[in-house]
Structure 1
Amino acid sequence: MRLKIILGIYIICATGSCYSEKITDNNVPAVDTKDYDYGEEEQGQESFKVPMVFWPEDNPNVNTIEDNRIIEDNDINNISQCPDNNPCEHYCSYYYQQKPLCWCYPGYKIKTDNISCEDRNECEEGLCLNDGICTNTLGSFVCNCKPGFYLDPSGRCVDIPDCLDEHICGDEAARCEEVPGSYKCICNPGFKYRDGVCQDLNECSVVNCEEKKVCVNTRGSYKCQCAPGYKDVYGTCQDINECRMGGKACPDEMLCKNTDGSYICTCPLGFRKHANQCTDIDECAENIHTCHHYAYCGNVPGSFFCQCGKGFSGDGRNCFDVNECERNNGECSHICINYPGHYRCLCEQGFRLENDGITCTDIDECEKNNGNCHQLCENTEGSFTCSCRDGYTLHIDGKTCVDINECLIDNGGCSQICTNTNGSFICSCPSHQVLDDQSQCRPIMSCADKNGGCGQKCQDLSDGSMLCSCIDGFYLHDDYKQCIDIDECKVMNGGCEQQCINTPGSFQCSCYSGYKLLIHRDNVHKCEAICEPKCMNNGKCISPNQCLCPVGYPGPRCTARCNPPCAHGGACHRHNQCICSPGWTGHGCITAVCSPGCQNGGKCIAPNQCQCKTGYSGSKCQTPICIPSCKNGGLCRQPNVCSCQQGFSGVRCTQSAPTCSPKCQNNGRCIGINRCRCPRGFSGSRCQNAFRRGPSCRPVCKNGGKCLRGNQCECLEGTSGFRCQTSNCRIVTYKESIKRGIRIPVRESFTVKCGRFGWKQCTAYRMVQKHVFKTTYKVAYRRKCPLN
């Protein structure tokens, strides 16, 4: 006899037979087997039930922990408990009070030493039937169905009938075919499986139909039919004469011409087809006429005509010139010249052509620039002549007048001296004689004759003689006639203070450079020094540009002195009181004025010129600075703080709102460029697929695996295993750059008052904080999965 315990069933096998009893010890919980279906396992002549497939982790009645206590069965009289010195590894009983009988926990088997126990590999005994997958455990085992199978009520693994879902292939053009543990979608003839659906094949891309036929693709098939312009006549395609069909194939003004399989609409001669209508051809504008060069081309609908131009004769295609000068000289007064198609009248020299184009009138050459004559011009018919006044003769050039020197002929009739002049002459006498009758000379008889020969003053005396004298400033020469100038500057410098300048009969006083001449009431000439600008505050100019100043005004030109000096063009008005130039104020005019004032903590360093703090710019430091600048229309509201337009975000408004095209369906939300986050129950790139809930996977898929039909898991990249429980991705490090804003100390210069009395300006330095962007790096970790 031998003893077995299998899954809580106490089995006793005697010679030729086995029977079973359920363990009912109060200390050992019995296994309720009502939730399992059992198959048969042959043991001698009797049989007992064992579970075919079960899920120990899902059934709380299955105890996977082995009970190591002695199980007593009062119903078996021949088995008694071993004493305390149990030699067995698991259970020990005396059989018929003989030697100890060792037996093992459920799921274990006795070793050859009949004392020790080892795990029983139930999977080697074929306990999992009907495509069940057996997994051995210590003291037990688990039966699972293969992917694509499920456990039916009878405890057997049955292939999941996937094809019962009529929408599983997702297209009416596909049919589902069962395969062990799965299914496959087979497209109907005329379709090809692509991108998860059966797409219609365009057989017309490879099919060549008969001549005059075209291939028309249909869903799942194709057909050959007569091409447009042909009709089916007893199985053959014959041309359709569209020009003879009812209705007009072409517009009224167009001509219809039948072609093989079609027709064309043409235009009559002289017209051109344009936008399905006939437009007239302008042969004249397009220069496709046959008119003569000297003919006029006129367009008419569908044709054109030619007409010879004025001055030509002919039929328009051949034109001949008409010579107008052959008839009455063309009505011209003087000269007629013929040209092709016209003629022209010209005038002889000295005449001009009037506005009528035929009459010639005389030109008065003397009206323009005196005919270029030197003196006199006389107009004649068609010409002119030049002449001269008395005393001149005409030059050989016929225009210039030359003076006649009368003195060359008999001394001009003068008794003494003859002097020629332009166009005349003058008779004169020696100094002691006077002209009597325009040509004869006689002696001087009184002061009336040449002032009596005196240089200045003449006086007739009673004895008939004459007395010469001089005016003030001159003295009489030794000849008692001429007067000589007196040089007053030789005597006491003429009474002048600085310079004396002699003049005929008088003198003038002048001053050196830097002085000006003043004449007082007593006719005293004085030279006064010139100071430019003038001495101020009652100062006196004592020499050129040198002032004698009163007390309290020691400055140049007797100006007040300010300490410190007035800066930036300011003027010292009184002692240490400045009148500042526009844009400056304060003691010494060293404080700049900015109106309006500098904003955001800026400092006024020059008139209307602000020195801004870091982060601001503009004439009044009113504009905050964002570096880099705000993008996509964003506004810089504060230093390095952007206010973004609608649809943009990020520190510099560089991140645009996610857009999905086409839009997400079924209330899906766009979370990135063409990326949708679907609500529960929907999937797909646009949430267009609704889930058809199927059986859940047991055990559940690990590491983000997706449960498929047939209790299968679809593992993510880098994971594997029956339940995606194995990760093949290793942890790697990588470097990531980060640009962040920091503040750095910067040396900044500014102006301060210095010196003993604070009247100087010195440059000082201070440290300020400046906001800059710095690129740093950080080390991060991520999973790196092997490529498939």
Structure 2
Amino acid sequence: RYDYRVPNPARRGEFYAEVLYKCNNGYTFDPSRPDTMFCSERRWIGKRPICVPQSDVVPHDPTRPPCSESQQITLGCEHICYLHSSLTPTCECHDGFLLTEDEKCEDIDECVDDPEICDHICINKPGTYMCDCKPGYTSQGSACMDINECLLNNGHGPCQDECHNLEGSYSCGCGGLPGTQLSRKDNHTCKSEEGCQDNNGGCSHKCIDSYNQIFCLCPEGYELDEDWKTCMDIDECETGALECISKCVNLPGSAVCECEPGYGGDDCEDINECLTQDLVCDHECINTPGSAHCICEKGFDLLGETECMDVDECEEDNGGCDQVCMNKKGSFECGCNPGYHLKADNASCFDVNECELGIGNCGIFGDCFNTPGSFYCDCHSGFELFEGTCVDTDECTKDSKLCGDSGLCQNLEGSYDCKCTSGYKFNNITCVDIDECIHNPCGHGDCINESPGYTCSCHSGYVDVDGVCRDYDECLHSNPCGPGGKCTNKPGGFDCECAQGYEFKHGFCHDINECSTDPCGQHGDCINTEGSYDCSCHKGFRMGNKKNSSLCLDIDECLESPCFHSECKNTLGGFECICKTGFALSKILPNTVCVNILGSHYCRCYEGYTKDQMGNCLLRDECRASKRPNGGCQQLCVNVPGGLKCDCNPGFMVDPTDPRLCIDKNECLLDNGGCEHACINKLGGYVCSCHLGFKPDERNPERCVKAEACSVNNGGCSHTCKSTESGLHHRCTCPPGYKLKADARTCKPTSGICASAARPSHGYFRCNKKKVGGYFVKGTKCKLKCRKGFQPTGRMVQKCISNGTWIGNMKDHSCEIMDCPPLPPLHNGVIQPESCTRDSSPRGSKCLFSCNNGYELSGVNKTRCTRLSQWKRIRATPPKCNPTFNRPHIYCPRDMVKPLPNDSESAYVMIPKPKTNVDWF
């Protein structure tokens, strides 16, 4: 950032030097330091000057006073705002910037404007530029001077022997070492023409074979070990060979001085990031030791590190305003709604009585009424408000359909009249259809008036025939009475004559369940059938022989002489054997009958029973024993003594053409299924449905009650359904930011607003505009902010555009936990686990430090990754492995180069004393 030159006016034998500095374009000297240094007693006197960026503060010019804060905000000047002689505010830019047509300051690219401004490389920067040189050259302001690499290392430079300086480079030679030649491998070292071929002479680094003598050499910053072959790195920081103001960092073969972050220069002085533009703040930059931070003016909040965002004072308690709060950059103002004036406290509002002030001039056909914040004109009937005055309403022009499609509208003062066509009449509002239904032309039905004409809604049992409801013969095409009844038509309905075994119930001939009266008696089971019933008598009983007799009679088993060597005595439902003298009664198994055979007897199972392995008679499972699956039944198989029968699930009935199959039972054929409105048959059942404007009764779903239009399926609206006063009609509405589609039911977003996203975990969105009706308006910018210990992922800034979407999906980002960075390796030690130095470590991770043999640990012996993603205590007391004993050493000073003064043949050289920890001569 500066140029310097060193004139040497001293005579022979004298020492004198002066350095004059000059700052590059865009920079100026730090006023706390001079721009010149002097050499006295072989030492430079004074501090080296520092060039800093030119200050943004513009010297006061009485002829051009600065603008006020409000003028600068209104005009939007980026850099400088002046009042010219006409007191007109004008924007200007700092040096190095150009004012554009939109009052913005655009950086001037000096490298493009003047390609020859630098000898080699030109680097443009905001408001200025910087020159750099190619390798082999050093920068002297805008000029580049060749670096004489051969001046170092006692004239050898980076070469082992001879060094020849070239423009921007150098070359090496081996003329000073007979018997050697320049290595083709590195072009720097001298290689013996015959020696050092075998294992590099045992040297760890350089090997020289001179006059049949092998020498091991170490590069700068290394020293030979006791074996005179291995080169060991010299820790210049530990030996004190390099004295640093701040921090010394040892490197292989050398060491460097470094400054702590936020410090720089030879003396490690604090860097003013505000002047170097390393931190560019919206408002004010505050430099601190080793760092800097931005602060904002009153009325602004810091967004991030540099950006100042206006605080919307109106967001909290409406800024204290009674009605309207208007946010401004850095401030706010209170206002009032129309019809109100601001009080002297500049916050409260009072109502203006427009009627008393004559503002509400309603005219002779209306009355003025004051309201809070406004007024209204109550125009007389037939008049309307036009430009603040009540005038006659031309109803005919205002509504071309006022009289409908069947009338001609004629305007009158304060009213109108309709001339209606035939079939219509004027009802003082419009032309309405004449209601023909007044005289009930339909007869057995309800008359529905239409425009024009009418239709008939006939009662049950009647149909519309040419506008008259006539009887419908239900018996003509089907038998609504069912298979057990005879249908006879009658006006408006029909009668059912049920056959024997059926009864009329709910408009249908239902099978009588004769079993409910227990016709089979206590000794039999009743099985109901269509139109009749069957009796299944218990063991020991039979059906009576009398005609129409259904009682189960006792069987006289003694007629078959079931007893042997005994007398048979008949009992109710059985018998008993009374043995003769000398005989005992044998056991008779249940469900069996004893069959006498010649010389013996056996037990036979009743019909429908079978013997098991123990000889017991059990009811046979005919459904399972059948060769057909499920006994050949489509749905249910029922075992009965001596066989099986098929039955159906609820909602189905046995197919009369095939008793094995089941068909759907149409419940709606019988008395409309019991439904008040509509019956809808379904497979295996039915449902009752209600007409439009009705809903099922919660206590009896077969009945229907009146219902509001919005109560059923929300009226078909996607958002809000609003019913009319009658409840029979409705309309769909949308929330703010939405509008109805063409179907008048579904809502879609309006353009220019964006929906807000869910608050991200461990973070929040900071937006420059507040929500309106739960939505953000076009142009809103939202920035993702994360809590401490978390970092944002994805796009940090989103913008709402006119099509209602965000540039950068607001869902594609989150706040993720920050990890601690990998630890640097511990010299002469080990860090466990190995992942501590290889990868980033999550919060809560622990790392342990230990030293190799011969070294001891100083500083912390462990560290932990904190919730702020920082290693605990590692900065304050860093771990270090120190040797447990001091090895004797002598460190010689580095090679020196002393340029001879003009006209001099010799010079005085002060050689630094070698550093050592032993006594030496």
Instruction: Give the TM-score range, shorter chain.
Output: under 0.3
Normalising to structure 2: TM-score of the pair?
A: 0.20
Q: TM-score, normalised by structure 1?
A: 0.22
Q: Which has the larger Rg?
A: 1
